[in-house]
Structure formats: C-alpha cells, structure tokens
A = this chain, B = another copy of it.
Amino acid sequence: MAISTPEGYRALDDRSVAGYLAGVPALRERLGGEPAAWQVREVGDGNLNLVFIVEGPAGDLCVKQALPYVRLVGEGWPLDLRRAWFEHRAASIQSRHAAGLLPELLHFDERLFLIAMECCRPHIIMRRGMIDGVVYPRFAAHIVEYLATTLFHTSDMALPAAEKRELVATFSGNIELCKITEDLVFTDPYMVRDRNRWTSPQLDDVAAEIRGDAELKRAVSRLKIKFLSKTEALLHGDLHTGSIMVTADDSKVIDPEFAVMGPMGFDVGKLLGNLLLCHFSQRGHERTPAERDPYRRWILATVEEVWIGFARRFVELWTAHPTGDGYPAPLFDGAAGRASLRQAQAEYMTRLFGEALGFAGAAMIRRTLGLAHNIDMERIVDADRRADCERRNLRLARELVVEARSFADIAAVTARAAEIDTA
C-alpha cells in the first residue's frame, strides 16, 4: 500500500472479514455456527469506506472499515483513518439521545478503524426509495426526533460549559473530513476546479453565472464562516437522504463520520436541501406529465413537517431540560421568566431557520455543480431533461442562500419550490 498506515492496520476483504469477526467473542456468538459458513458481501456504495454485510446461522451484522484514502477517488486522495473513531464516538453519543434511530453499535476496533453494527434490514437507503416514488409516512416524525434530540442535548442549552467544551475539543480533531465539507460545499462550486462537474453543455451558462455571482459568493462565504467558527452542537455533518435507511415504519441514521461541533442549521439545512433537490428531480422520473404530482406534494409536505416538527420539538426539549449554561435557568424563572424564555426561543428558532435555509441552498448547489452528485438527478438519463430539473433546483438554491430572510416561514419555501417547479 502506497499510503503509510498505523501499525496493526490492514484493510479487510471478503475473505478476511470472517476470520477477524471469529476472534471477537460477542460478534462470533451473534453470527453463530462456524465462521466458514458465514456469508460475506462487500456492499459499500458510498464514497469513502469498505462496508461488509455478514450473515451467520444465528444473526447478522454490518462491518464498516475506513480506508486510508477516498474510495471514490483512490490513493491519490489520502484520508485520515481516524474518521472511524469520530463516527463511532458521535454515533455513541447520538444513540444515547435518539434511541432506536441509529443502528445499534456492536464493536469498535481502534487498530483497524472498524465499526461493527446492527445490520438495518429490510431497510434501504432512503434516496433509492425516493427515486422510485416511495412514500415514507413516518420519516418526518423520526428525523424530527433525531435532529431535535441529538442537536439539543449537545448544545449549550442542555450541557454545562465544561462538558460542551470537551466535546468541542474532541471533535475539533476531525479536521480532514471537515475540510472536505469546507471545500466541496462552500468553495469549489463557486470557482474553476478540475473536480467540479455538471450536466454539460446544458448548464455551462448557469455554472459560469454562479462563479461570477458576487452576492452569492459573499453569502456562501458567510455560511462557511459559520461552519468554521460556530460550535453550537454535535452535528451528524452529512445528513442527507443517502445517510438514512428506511422502511415504511422505521428510520435509521447512518454514517456520522463527518461529525463536528458546528452550526445546527447545517444538519437541518442539508437534509431540507436534499429533499428539495429530490423534489426538483421528480420531473425527470415521470413517464407521463404530472404522474409524480402526489409524490411532489408528499416531499414538500415532508419538508414542512421536518422544519415545523424540529422547531417545536427542540423548543419542547429546551423548556423541559434547561440544564445548560446557555440561557441559564435562574435568569428565566417565574411566570415572567417563562414568558421571556418563550420569546428567546422564538428568536433563536427564527435565526436558526434562516441559517438552515442558507445551508440547504448551499447543499443543493454543490450537488449540482461540484464533485459529488446525487443519484436523484444522475439517474435521469436524458441530459436535457436532467439539466432542466437541475436548473430549477439551482434557482431556488440561490434564493435560499442569498435571500434566506425573505422567506417568512417554511410554507413560503415550499410554495416557492412548487412555483419554480411548474414555471
């Protein structure tokens, strides 16, 4: 291997996984029977890691191992193995707060940078289901609970400053993964870079327009500064429909390897942006015009439910557990104090709403003009059709980044999305 790795590290493969797992008693027991009989499949379809599904007579599990480079690119882009440690640490913390909404963690190997966890079955990656037009009626409720609990309980409203500063110190080490976000989300799409790509030549004009859009570049740079210098809560860091596994009844959030103490609006906004992008992709998946209208309505209703539900649940947690050093409880006691706190909460959520919209727009732009694209759009084979969807997506995205404050509420956002989609 060209890239040097810490002593004891080796990348597993289909053949060596069983031998490794056989050496971990709890995992061996979970799988049952003889290791030689275990079925192993490498299923990683993400951009970074190895992922194995292992099935034994008694049970199954999922093994995720970090490679010392970006899988999507190869050894030419080395990447810190310790992202597995940050993922495990973040998932451990989040699991305490959002019980049942992440896969159960079974094992962590700090030499192999390997996590063994529950296999989410029969779940599928939500984005794949959405391309097929599948409705997930309980998704909004689940993700609201995940977002509100993981963000609130790691924020200054819940934590004493000493605990919060320890989290900040720990996750400030996740430098290389954050750098990917900083470059790919907030910088690359706005300049000429070899690794950018878009539907060409159809979008050449709008890509150039965005590279020359001074107001947009200032606005996205303000968002980048927030990402670099706000440590509001422990973020998942890459929360989109490709990081969520679903069934009709269940949702599991996976892959928090980009975890960092950052601005809450980043997690909320990235998710909203990916839902909105998916909404704009529907036109490309229709066999007949308006075929996907009900699904469009479901997506936009979900966008509304996610924000409204999150804001309500976050404030509910804040009111019930004002245990942090931010907005200290003794300053808000009594009837007048409670009324004042409600006002403070409303102001807080208004500010957070604007930031979330900005981050949503940034996510929609980078998935259209940057390195990593979404299959929501990529699966649209006809380039002209795809470009038409992407152009509408970019139009809302710019408004969200530049004019976030002009949207009075989330209904104004979904109304504008529908308007742009049907124009």
**Chain A residues packing against B (C-beta within 8 Å):** 156, 161-162, 164-166, 168-170, 172-173, 175, 178-179, 182, 187, 190-191, 212, 214-215, 217-218, 221-222, 224-225, 228-232, 325-328, 330-332, 336-337, 339-340, 343-344, 347
Most buried by B among A156, A225, A229, A330: A229
Q: Are A161 and B187 in contact (CB under 8 A)?
A: no
Q: Are A214 and B172 in contact (CB under 8 A)?
A: no
Q: Given A161-B178, A178-B161: A225 and B326 within 8 A (CB)? A: yes
Q: Are B230 and A164 in contact (CB under 8 A)?
A: no
List B contacts of A336 (CB < 8 A).
212, 214
Q: Are A173 and B169 in contact (CB under 8 A)?
A: yes
Q: Given A179-B161, A191-B330, A331-B191: A156 and B225 within 8 A (CB)? A: yes
List B contacts of A325 (CB < 8 A).
182, 187, 224, 228
List B contacts of A164 (CB < 8 A).
228-229
List B contacts of A340 (CB < 8 A).
214-215, 217-218
What is the minimal beta-carbon distance from A193 to any residue of chain B, in angstroms? 9
Q: Are A165 and B156 in contact (CB under 8 A)?
A: no
The 3 A-B pairs with the shortest beta carbon distances in the complex, nearest first, are A169-B172, A214-B340, A165-B172
Q: How many angstroms between the C-alpha atoms of A161 and B179 in the bound complex?
A: 7
List B contacts of A228 (CB < 8 A).
156, 161, 164, 325-326
Q: How many angstroms between the C-alpha atoms of A358 and B169 in the bound complex?
A: 27
What is the minimal beta-carbon distance from A336 to any residue of chain B, in angstroms? 6
List B contacts of A330 (CB < 8 A).
187, 191
Most buried by B among A170, A173, A218, A343: A218
What is the minimal beta-carbon distance from A273 to any residue of chain B, in angstroms? 20
Q: List 21 A-B contacts (CB under 8 A).
A: A161-B228, A165-B173, A165-B175, A166-B175, A168-B169, A169-B172, A169-B173, A172-B172, A187-B331, A190-B331, A191-B331, A215-B340, A217-B331, A218-B344, A221-B326, A221-B328, A222-B347, A224-B326, A224-B328, A228-B326, A229-B326
Q: Are B178 and A165 in contact (CB under 8 A)?
A: yes
List B contacts of A179 (CB < 8 A).
161-162
Q: How many angstroms between the C-alpha atoms of A231 and B175 in the bound complex?
A: 15
List B contacts of A162 (CB < 8 A).
175, 179
Q: Given A228-B325, A231-B231, A331-B221: A337 and B214 within 8 A (CB)? A: yes
Q: Given A172-B166, A231-B229: A217 and B332 within 8 A (CB)? A: yes
Q: How many angstroms between the C-alpha atoms of A169 and B174 in the bound complex?
A: 10
Q: How many angstroms between the C-alpha atoms of A164 and B228 in the bound complex?
A: 9
What is the minimal beta-carbon distance from A418 to any residue of chain B, in angstroms? 32
Q: How many angstroms between the C-alpha atoms of A162 and B161 in the bound complex?
A: 24
Q: Are A343 and B229 in contact (CB under 8 A)?
A: no
Q: How many angstroms between the C-alpha atoms of A156 and B231 in the bound complex?
A: 14
What is the minimal beta-carbon distance from A328 to any residue of chain B, in angstroms? 5
Q: How many angstroms between the C-alpha atoms of A221 and B339 in the bound complex?
A: 15
